[in-house]
Amino acid sequence: MWLLLLVILGLILFYRWHRQSQVLENLSDKYVFITGCDTGFGRQIAKQLDTRGMKVLAACLTEAGAKELERATSSRLRTVILNVTDSQSVSAAAKWAADIVTDKGLWGLVNNAGILIPVSPNEWLKKEDFLRILDVNILGMIDVTLNLLPLIRKARGRIVNVSSIAGRHALCGGGYCISKFGVEAFSDSLRRELKHFGVKVSIINPDFFKTEILNSTRLKENITNNWKKMSQNLRNDYGEHYYHNYCKFIEEICSRSSTKLTLVTDCMEHALTAVHPWTRYSAGPYAKFLYMPLSYLPTSVADYILGS
Protein backbone atom coordinates (compact mmCIF):
# COMPACT_ATOMS: atom_id res chain seq x y z
CA MET A 1 0.00 0.00 0.00
CA TRP A 2 2.74 2.46 0.99
CA LEU A 3 4.75 1.51 -2.08
CA LEU A 4 1.77 2.26 -4.33
CA LEU A 5 1.28 5.66 -2.68
CA LEU A 6 4.96 6.50 -3.13
CA VAL A 7 4.78 5.54 -6.81
CA ILE A 8 1.70 7.71 -7.32
CA LEU A 9 3.36 10.62 -5.50
CA GLY A 10 6.49 10.19 -7.62
CA LEU A 11 4.46 10.22 -10.82
CA ILE A 12 2.61 13.37 -9.73
CA LEU A 13 5.89 15.15 -8.89
CA PHE A 14 7.44 14.05 -12.20
CA TYR A 15 4.42 15.31 -14.12
CA ARG A 16 4.55 18.66 -12.34
CA TRP A 17 8.29 18.97 -12.97
CA HIS A 18 7.92 18.06 -16.64
CA ARG A 19 5.02 20.47 -17.14
CA GLN A 20 6.79 23.38 -15.45
CA SER A 21 10.07 22.77 -17.30
CA GLN A 22 8.56 23.37 -20.75
CA VAL A 23 9.86 26.64 -22.23
CA LEU A 24 8.33 28.78 -24.95
CA GLU A 25 9.87 28.90 -28.41
CA ASN A 26 11.04 32.03 -30.24
CA LEU A 27 11.93 33.98 -27.09
CA SER A 28 14.11 36.29 -29.17
CA ASP A 29 10.98 37.66 -30.86
CA LYS A 30 9.32 38.69 -27.60
CA TYR A 31 9.34 42.15 -25.99
CA VAL A 32 9.25 42.60 -22.21
CA PHE A 33 8.69 45.93 -20.41
CA ILE A 34 10.17 46.14 -16.88
CA THR A 35 9.76 48.96 -14.34
CA GLY A 36 12.26 49.91 -11.64
CA CYS A 37 15.40 48.85 -13.51
CA ASP A 38 17.88 51.23 -11.86
CA THR A 39 18.84 48.71 -9.16
CA GLY A 40 17.82 45.49 -7.43
CA PHE A 41 15.42 42.99 -8.95
CA GLY A 42 14.59 45.20 -11.94
CA ARG A 43 18.20 45.59 -13.01
CA GLN A 44 18.90 41.89 -12.46
CA ILE A 45 15.90 40.60 -14.44
CA ALA A 46 16.63 43.05 -17.28
CA LYS A 47 20.15 41.63 -17.58
CA GLN A 48 18.88 38.07 -17.24
CA LEU A 49 16.27 38.36 -20.00
CA ASP A 50 18.73 40.20 -22.23
CA THR A 51 21.12 37.24 -21.84
CA ARG A 52 18.24 34.93 -22.89
CA GLY A 53 17.96 36.93 -26.11
CA MET A 54 14.64 38.62 -25.32
CA LYS A 55 13.98 42.22 -26.30
CA VAL A 56 13.96 44.16 -23.05
CA LEU A 57 12.36 47.58 -22.63
CA ALA A 58 13.82 48.73 -19.32
CA ALA A 59 12.18 51.63 -17.50
CA CYS A 60 14.51 53.50 -15.14
CA LEU A 61 13.81 56.41 -12.81
CA THR A 62 17.16 58.11 -13.47
CA GLU A 63 19.44 58.76 -16.44
CA ALA A 64 22.38 57.40 -14.44
CA GLY A 65 20.56 54.11 -13.82
CA ALA A 66 19.62 53.81 -17.49
CA LYS A 67 23.17 54.45 -18.74
CA GLU A 68 24.67 51.99 -16.26
CA LEU A 69 22.23 49.28 -17.36
CA GLU A 70 22.92 49.97 -21.04
CA ARG A 71 26.66 49.52 -20.43
CA ALA A 72 26.02 46.14 -18.78
CA THR A 73 23.76 44.69 -21.50
CA SER A 74 23.54 44.15 -25.25
CA SER A 75 22.24 46.54 -27.90
CA ARG A 76 18.91 44.67 -27.84
CA LEU A 77 18.02 46.29 -24.53
CA ARG A 78 16.47 49.76 -24.70
CA THR A 79 15.84 52.12 -21.81
CA VAL A 80 13.26 54.79 -21.07
CA ILE A 81 12.98 57.22 -18.16
CA LEU A 82 9.79 56.54 -16.22
CA ASN A 83 8.27 57.96 -13.05
CA VAL A 84 5.33 55.66 -12.30
CA THR A 85 3.68 58.36 -10.14
CA ASP A 86 3.48 60.77 -13.11
CA SER A 87 0.66 59.88 -15.51
CA GLN A 88 2.21 61.91 -18.32
CA SER A 89 5.47 60.01 -17.90
CA VAL A 90 3.56 56.71 -17.93
CA SER A 91 1.62 57.66 -21.08
CA ALA A 92 4.81 58.75 -22.84
CA ALA A 93 6.56 55.49 -21.93
CA ALA A 94 3.58 53.46 -23.17
CA LYS A 95 3.62 55.32 -26.50
CA TRP A 96 7.38 54.76 -26.74
CA ALA A 97 6.85 51.03 -26.18
CA ALA A 98 4.00 50.89 -28.71
CA ASP A 99 6.17 52.50 -31.38
CA ILE A 100 8.85 49.84 -30.80
CA VAL A 101 6.74 46.68 -30.56
CA THR A 102 4.34 47.71 -33.37
CA ASP A 103 2.08 44.82 -34.45
CA LYS A 104 3.93 42.22 -32.37
CA GLY A 105 2.42 43.55 -29.17
CA LEU A 106 4.05 43.33 -25.75
CA TRP A 107 4.73 39.81 -24.52
CA GLY A 108 5.59 40.67 -20.93
CA LEU A 109 5.15 43.39 -18.31
CA VAL A 110 7.08 43.14 -15.04
CA ASN A 111 5.73 45.60 -12.48
CA ASN A 112 8.73 45.80 -10.19
CA ALA A 113 9.08 49.47 -9.15
CA GLY A 114 8.47 50.00 -5.43
CA ILE A 115 9.50 51.83 -2.25
CA LEU A 116 9.36 51.01 1.48
CA ILE A 117 10.04 54.36 3.21
CA PRO A 118 8.28 55.95 5.11
CA VAL A 119 7.91 53.04 7.53
CA SER A 120 6.99 53.21 11.23
CA PRO A 121 4.12 52.23 13.53
CA ASN A 122 0.98 53.61 11.90
CA GLU A 123 0.22 56.26 14.53
CA TRP A 124 3.63 57.84 14.01
CA LEU A 125 2.80 58.70 10.39
CA LYS A 126 0.65 61.18 8.48
CA LYS A 127 -1.76 60.54 5.63
CA GLU A 128 0.83 61.92 3.21
CA ASP A 129 3.31 59.25 4.30
CA PHE A 130 0.88 56.50 3.33
CA LEU A 131 0.01 58.23 0.06
CA ARG A 132 3.67 58.47 -0.99
CA ILE A 133 4.06 54.69 -0.93
CA LEU A 134 0.64 53.87 -2.35
CA ASP A 135 1.30 56.24 -5.26
CA VAL A 136 4.35 54.21 -6.32
CA ASN A 137 3.60 50.65 -5.25
CA ILE A 138 -0.03 50.24 -6.28
CA LEU A 139 -1.41 53.31 -8.09
CA GLY A 140 1.72 53.55 -10.25
CA MET A 141 1.49 49.83 -11.01
CA ILE A 142 -2.15 50.21 -12.00
CA ASP A 143 -1.40 53.20 -14.24
CA VAL A 144 1.44 51.40 -16.04
CA THR A 145 -0.64 48.25 -16.50
CA LEU A 146 -3.70 50.02 -17.85
CA ASN A 147 -1.61 51.97 -20.36
CA LEU A 148 0.14 48.83 -21.63
CA LEU A 149 -2.80 46.41 -21.54
CA PRO A 150 -3.79 46.86 -25.21
CA LEU A 151 -0.25 45.84 -26.24
CA ILE A 152 -0.27 42.86 -23.86
CA ARG A 153 -3.67 41.65 -25.05
CA LYS A 154 -2.47 41.89 -28.65
CA ALA A 155 0.41 39.50 -27.86
CA ARG A 156 -1.69 37.31 -25.54
CA GLY A 157 1.18 37.89 -23.16
CA ARG A 158 2.10 37.86 -19.49
CA ILE A 159 1.88 40.25 -16.53
CA VAL A 160 4.21 39.70 -13.57
CA ASN A 161 3.43 41.76 -10.47
CA VAL A 162 5.95 41.95 -7.64
CA SER A 163 4.14 41.69 -4.32
CA SER A 164 5.81 40.57 -1.09
CA ILE A 165 5.33 38.35 1.91
CA ALA A 166 4.13 41.66 3.37
CA GLY A 167 1.19 41.28 1.00
CA ARG A 168 0.16 38.23 3.03
CA HIS A 169 1.14 39.41 6.53
CA ALA A 170 1.28 43.04 7.68
CA LEU A 171 4.80 42.93 9.09
CA CYS A 172 5.20 46.67 9.64
CA GLY A 173 3.23 49.90 9.80
CA GLY A 174 2.93 52.43 7.00
CA GLY A 175 1.80 52.14 3.42
CA TYR A 176 4.08 49.32 2.26
CA CYS A 177 2.02 46.36 3.48
CA ILE A 178 -1.21 48.09 2.48
CA SER A 179 0.16 48.58 -1.04
CA LYS A 180 1.26 44.95 -1.31
CA PHE A 181 -2.14 43.68 -0.18
CA GLY A 182 -3.46 45.92 -2.97
CA VAL A 183 -1.10 44.28 -5.47
CA GLU A 184 -2.57 40.91 -4.50
CA ALA A 185 -6.14 42.09 -5.13
CA PHE A 186 -5.25 43.87 -8.38
CA SER A 187 -3.44 40.79 -9.67
CA ASP A 188 -6.32 38.46 -8.79
CA SER A 189 -8.88 40.62 -10.58
CA LEU A 190 -6.62 41.01 -13.63
CA ARG A 191 -6.03 37.27 -13.84
CA ARG A 192 -9.73 36.48 -14.00
CA GLU A 193 -10.59 39.35 -16.36
CA LEU A 194 -7.77 38.69 -18.83
CA LYS A 195 -8.10 34.92 -19.01
CA HIS A 196 -10.62 35.54 -21.80
CA PHE A 197 -7.82 37.13 -23.86
CA GLY A 198 -5.22 34.43 -23.19
CA VAL A 199 -3.20 36.74 -20.92
CA LYS A 200 -1.64 35.14 -17.83
CA VAL A 201 -0.95 37.01 -14.59
CA SER A 202 1.60 35.91 -11.99
CA ILE A 203 2.41 37.24 -8.53
CA ILE A 204 5.91 37.15 -7.03
CA ASN A 205 6.12 37.04 -3.22
CA PRO A 206 9.76 37.63 -2.20
CA ASP A 207 10.90 37.55 1.40
CA PHE A 208 13.98 39.54 2.54
CA PHE A 209 16.63 40.54 -0.01
CA LYS A 210 19.42 43.10 0.06
CA THR A 211 18.09 45.75 -2.32
CA GLU A 212 17.94 49.53 -2.15
CA ILE A 213 14.61 49.54 -0.34
CA LEU A 214 15.76 47.17 2.43
CA ASN A 215 18.62 49.32 3.71
CA SER A 216 18.95 49.04 7.50
CA THR A 217 20.62 52.43 7.98
CA ARG A 218 18.07 54.35 5.91
CA LEU A 219 15.13 52.55 7.51
CA LYS A 220 16.31 53.24 11.06
CA GLU A 221 17.00 56.89 10.19
CA ASN A 222 13.47 57.19 8.86
CA ILE A 223 11.99 55.63 12.00
CA THR A 224 14.07 57.93 14.21
CA ASN A 225 12.99 61.02 12.26
CA ASN A 226 9.34 60.00 12.58
CA TRP A 227 9.84 59.43 16.33
CA LYS A 228 11.38 62.89 16.77
CA LYS A 229 8.56 64.59 14.86
CA MET A 230 5.91 63.15 17.18
CA SER A 231 4.45 65.15 20.04
CA GLN A 232 5.99 64.64 23.48
CA ASN A 233 2.70 63.20 24.73
CA LEU A 234 2.69 60.55 22.00
CA ARG A 235 6.33 59.67 22.66
CA ASN A 236 5.50 59.29 26.35
CA ASP A 237 2.59 56.98 25.50
CA TYR A 238 4.80 54.66 23.43
CA GLY A 239 7.98 55.05 25.46
CA GLU A 240 11.64 54.76 24.55
CA HIS A 241 11.51 50.98 25.00
CA TYR A 242 8.91 50.62 22.22
CA TYR A 243 10.95 52.85 19.91
CA HIS A 244 14.16 50.86 20.44
CA ASN A 245 12.37 47.53 20.05
CA TYR A 246 10.86 48.66 16.76
CA CYS A 247 14.30 49.70 15.45
CA LYS A 248 15.65 46.32 16.57
CA PHE A 249 12.81 44.53 14.77
CA ILE A 250 13.60 46.34 11.51
CA GLU A 251 17.30 45.62 11.94
CA GLU A 252 16.57 41.91 12.43
CA ILE A 253 14.54 41.81 9.22
CA CYS A 254 17.40 43.45 7.31
CA SER A 255 19.92 41.05 8.85
CA ARG A 256 17.94 38.09 7.45
CA SER A 257 18.05 39.49 3.92
CA SER A 258 19.78 37.51 1.17
CA THR A 259 22.09 38.81 -1.54
CA LYS A 260 20.95 36.11 -3.97
CA LEU A 261 18.56 38.22 -6.06
CA THR A 262 18.26 35.44 -8.63
CA LEU A 263 15.95 33.58 -6.23
CA VAL A 264 13.43 36.26 -7.17
CA THR A 265 14.41 36.98 -10.76
CA ASP A 266 14.43 33.29 -11.69
CA CYS A 267 10.76 33.27 -10.67
CA MET A 268 10.12 36.30 -12.88
CA GLU A 269 11.93 34.62 -15.77
CA HIS A 270 9.91 31.42 -15.39
CA ALA A 271 6.66 33.40 -15.32
CA LEU A 272 7.63 35.02 -18.63
CA THR A 273 9.21 32.09 -20.47
CA ALA A 274 7.47 28.92 -19.25
CA VAL A 275 4.67 27.38 -21.27
CA HIS A 276 2.76 26.89 -18.01
CA PRO A 277 3.70 29.65 -15.54
CA TRP A 278 2.65 29.51 -11.90
CA THR A 279 -0.02 31.88 -10.63
CA ARG A 280 2.10 32.61 -7.54
CA TYR A 281 5.81 32.31 -6.80
CA SER A 282 7.21 32.21 -3.26
CA ALA A 283 10.75 33.55 -3.60
CA GLY A 284 13.20 32.81 -0.80
CA PRO A 285 13.29 30.34 2.10
CA TYR A 286 11.33 32.50 4.55
CA ALA A 287 8.56 32.91 1.98
CA LYS A 288 8.42 29.22 1.07
CA PHE A 289 8.68 27.64 4.50
CA LEU A 290 7.33 30.23 6.94
CA TYR A 291 5.32 33.23 5.79
CA MET A 292 3.36 31.74 2.89
CA PRO A 293 2.33 28.55 4.75
CA LEU A 294 1.52 30.71 7.77
CA SER A 295 -0.90 32.77 5.69
CA TYR A 296 -3.16 29.72 5.35
CA LEU A 297 -3.37 29.08 9.09
CA PRO A 298 -5.87 30.69 11.51
CA THR A 299 -5.12 34.34 12.30
CA SER A 300 -4.58 33.57 15.98
CA VAL A 301 -1.81 31.11 15.08
CA ALA A 302 -0.12 33.57 12.72
CA ASP A 303 -0.34 36.36 15.33
CA TYR A 304 1.24 34.14 17.97
CA ILE A 305 4.12 33.04 15.72
CA LEU A 306 4.78 36.54 14.42
CA GLY A 307 4.78 37.88 17.97
CA SER A 308 1.76 40.18 17.64
In a shared domain, residues 139 and 219: no
What's the number of domains the chain is made of?
2
* Predicted local confidence at residue 18, as pLDDT: 58
Q: Are residues 111 and 247 in the same domain?
A: no
Catalytic positions are 176
Residue 94 and residue 179 in one domain:
yes
Q: Is residue 5 part of a domain?
A: no
Predicted pLDDT at 77 = 97
Q: Is residue 14 part of a domain?
A: no
- One domain for residues 159 and 56: yes
Task: Please report whether residue 179 resides in a domain.
Answer: yes
According to the model, what pLDDT value does residue 10 have?
A: 75
Residues 199 and 276 in one domain: yes
Encoded amino acid at 156, one letter = R
- On whether residue 169 sits in a domain, the answer given is yes
Q: Are residues 151 and 267 in the same domain?
A: yes
Predicted local distance difference test score (pLDDT) of residue 23: 74
Tell me which long-range contacts 89-98 makes (C-beta under 8 A, separation of at least 24).
90/140, 90/143, 90/144, 90/147, 91/147, 93/59, 93/144, 93/147, 94/144, 94/147, 94/148, 94/151, 97/31, 97/33, 97/57, 97/148, 97/151, 98/151
Q: Count of CB atoms within 10 A of residue 275's CB?
A: 11
Same domain, 286 and 197: yes
220 and 104 inside one domain: no
Both 277 and 133 in a single domain?
A: yes
Residue 13 belongs to a domain? no
Residue 3 placed within a domain: no
Half-sphere exposure of 114 toward its Cβ, with a 13 Å CA cutoff? 28
Residue 6 lies in a domain: no
- Give me the domain span that covers residue 111: 26-211+259-303
183 shares its domain with 59:
yes
Indicate whether 249 and 230 sit together in one domain: yes
**CATH number of the structural domain spanning residue 33:** 3.40.50.720
Same domain flag for 243 and 280? no
Residue 308 lies in a domain: no
pLDDT (tens, 9 = 90+) of the chain, 308 residues, equals 677 677 677 767 766 765 766 778 889 999 999 999 999 999 999 999 999 999 999 999 999 999 999 999 999 999 999 999 999 999 999 999 999 999 999 999 999 999 999 999 999 999 999 999 999 999 999 999 999 999 999 999 999 999 999 999 999 999 999 999 999 999 999 999 999 999 999 999 999 998 988 888 999 999 999 999 999 999 999 999 999 999 999 998 898 899 999 999 999 999 999 999 999 999 999 999 999 999 988 988 888 888 75
Amino acid at 153: R
Instruction: Supply the pLDDT for residue 118.
Output: 94
